[in-house]
Structure 1
Amino acid sequence: MLYNINPLLSPDLLHILRSMGHGDQIVIVDANFPADSHAQRLVRLDGANATQALEAIVSVLPLDTYVEAPVHTMQVVGDPQAVPEIVAEFYQIASNGPGGEVPHQSIERFAFYEQVKNAYAVVVTNETRLYGNVILTKGVIG
């Protein structure tokens, strides 16, 4: 056991987060996402939903302040301006860190899939809410 480490951060996930460099991306996905076919590295958090996973990860992961938006979500198909409840929750959780409000963008579904293929790792959750997918870009600690 370790002090002040969220118990959802398994040894495998902590290793991935520590191994990532500035600009690398990690993706948290819902239970419907085709993670196995898109991930370079895959970690399963079957006991957690996507917001719980995000809270745990951003508790130790600095977000990039050198990019336009270190947080990306998937646009709603047919309604790209829509903001599902879970996406609003993602933005709030990401902005609760030490850096304050975090810029975010949504991207078209298939562009999101392509970006995931280049991500450092994918974290699969048991999230059942639609559009429960978020990409985080790792920053630096000054």
Structure 2
Amino acid sequence: MLIGIDPVLSPDLLRILRAMGHGDVIAVVDANFPADSCAKRLVRADGLSATRVLQAILSVMPLDHMSDPAAFSMEVVGDPAAIPPAVADFQEMIDSTADTPSRIGPVERFAFYEKARDAYAIVQTGERRLYGNILLVKGVVQP
């Protein structure tokens, strides 16, 4: 245990977040996402919601202030303008927790899968809500 570090951040996840560089992407995905077949590095967070994991990550990782947006969600198939409840919660979490708040940009389903395959790591949560997936672009820690 460490003082001031969210206990949701496992040793593996902390190592990954620390190793990531500016512009690297981390995906936080729901229980239905094909994470094992997509991930270069996979961290399991079974039993935790994607929103809770997002909160923990944002407590230690800056979002990229040079990317617009610095967060992406998967579009709803057949209704790309829809905002699923999980994504609305993600936006609330980013607005209240991120060092540099960012609007979440929608990405078509298969393009989202490709971005996740290119991500530095994927964190698979136990999130049961549909479309509970988000990509985050890491920013820089200011001096």
TM-score range, shorter chain: over 0.9
Residue deviations 1:18-60 (CA, integer Å, cap 9, x gap): 0000000000000000001100000000121100100111010
User: TM-score, normalised to structure 1's length?
Assistant: 0.97
Runs of 5+ consecutive residues of structure 1 not aligned to the other structure? none
> In structure 2, what is the Cα distance between the partners aligned to 1:30 and 1:93?
16
Who is 2:132 aligned against?
132
> In structure 2, what is the Cα distance between the partners aligned to 1:89 and 1:132?
9
1:100: Cα distance to partner?
A: 5.1
Aligned residue identity for 1:112? F
1:104: Cα distance to partner?
A: 1.9
Runs of 5+ consecutive residues of structure 2 not aligned to the other structure? none
* Structure 2 residue 46 is matched with structure 1 residue 46: yes
Alignment identity in percent? 55
Paired residue secondary structure (2:90):
helix
Paired residue secondary structure (1:79):
coil
> In structure 1, what is the Cα distance between the partners aligned to 2:133 and 2:12?
20
> In structure 2, what is the Cα distance between the partners aligned to 1:98 and 1:38?
26
Who is 2:6 aligned against?
6
Who is 2:70 aligned against?
70
Aligned residue identity for 2:68? E
Who is 2:16 aligned against?
16
Aligned residue identity for 1:96? S
1:96: Cα distance to partner?
A: 1.5
> In structure 1, what is the Cα distance between the partners aligned to 2:133 and 2:98?
22
1:95: Cα distance to partner?
A: 1.7
1:101: Cα distance to partner?
A: 3.2
1:116: Cα distance to partner?
A: 0.5
> In structure 2, what is the Cα distance between the partners aligned to 1:86 and 1:97?
16
